[in-house]
């Protein structure tokens, strides 16, 4: 169960790191973005790793999580986003109607994914719209800071919202496997050790 919690938390940090990259640099790693967005549609996976298509799908998140657990990173923006996402998910958990709306919306978008693929602009626009209709209505809203030039670009904003939806999906998984903020605060070293082990396993799996 510890590994599942670390994988779920890495999923939160992975999506948040790509939000941060888009907001500040105007670009993100396409493979990492796709792995995060794919997790939105894996509702009934057998394990936490399967939500991301295996450990490789959350490798970047494990690296980002480890950097935040081991030391104080130069850029705290990702950690601040992740904390905001975890708090948002706690509020979402008490809103049954919104949870059902999200589930129905994701099922509807799945049909477009089957035809167009995860990376298609239409799919990401639909996910962004679903985020706007649901999660962005919960206060306080998550505020993404970055370069106004990038944050003024409609396509990037859609990607950011789709990734925030992916981050919340990972936060839902985190809660489902017993994660909470107190556990994170009290077990930083333990989580860092588990993250290192998962990264090593991911490297072995790569061959």
Work out whether the CA dihedral 65, 194, 176, 159 comes out positive or negative.
positive
CA distance 82 to 142: 10
Residue 181 has a pLDDT of: 77
CATH superfamily of 2-206: HflD-like (1.10.3890.10)
Q: Left, alpha or beta for 53 (phi > 0: left; psi -120 to 50: alpha)?
A: left
Strands (E), 71-121: none
Q: What per-residue confidence (pLDDT) applies to 74?
A: 60
Q: What is the pLDDT of residue 186?
A: 74
- The predicted-structure confidence for 152-204, as pLDDT tens digits, reads as follows 999 999 999 999 999 999 999 999 999 887 777 778 889 999 999 999 988 77
**What pTM was computed for the model?**
0.94
pLDDT score at 207: 54
pLDDT of amino acid 84: 95
> What per-residue confidence (pLDDT) applies to 187?
81
**What pLDDT, on a 0 to 100 scale, did the predictor assign at position 117?**
87
Ranges of the chain with pLDDT below 70: 74-75, 205-207
Q: Examine residue 140 and say whether the peptide bond preceding it is cis (omega within 30 degrees of 0).
A: yes
End-to-end CA distance of the chain: 26
User: The tokens of 74 are what?
Assistant: 């130069």
Q: How far apart are CA 4 and CA 190, in angstroms?
A: 13
């Amino acid at each position: 169960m510890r590994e599942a919690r670390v994988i779920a938390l890495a999923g939160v940090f992975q999506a948040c790191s790509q939000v941060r990259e888009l907001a500040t640099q105007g670009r993100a790693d396409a493979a990492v973005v796709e792995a995060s967005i794919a997790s939105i549609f894996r509702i009934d996976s057998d394990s936490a790793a399967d939500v991301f298509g295996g450990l490789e799908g959350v490798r970047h998140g494990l690296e980002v999580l480890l950097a935040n657990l081991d030391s104080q990173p130069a850029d705290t923006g990702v950690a601040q986003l992740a904390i905001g996402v975890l708090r948002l998910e706690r509020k979402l958990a008490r809103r049954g109607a919104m949870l059902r709306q999200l589930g129905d919306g994701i099922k509807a978008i799945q049909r477009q994914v089957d035809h167009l693929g995860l990376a298609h602009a239409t799919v990401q626009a639909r996910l962004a719209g679903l985020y706007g209709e649901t999660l962005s209505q919960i206060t306080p809203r998550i505020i993404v800071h970055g370069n106004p030039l990038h944050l003024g670009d409609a396509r990037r904003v859609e990607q950011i919202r789709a990734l925030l939806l992916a981050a919340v999906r990972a936060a839902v998984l985190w809660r489902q496997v017993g994660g909470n903020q107190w556990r994170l605060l009290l077990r930083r070293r333990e989580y860092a050790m588990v993250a290192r082990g998962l990264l090593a396993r991911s490297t072995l799996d790569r061959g």
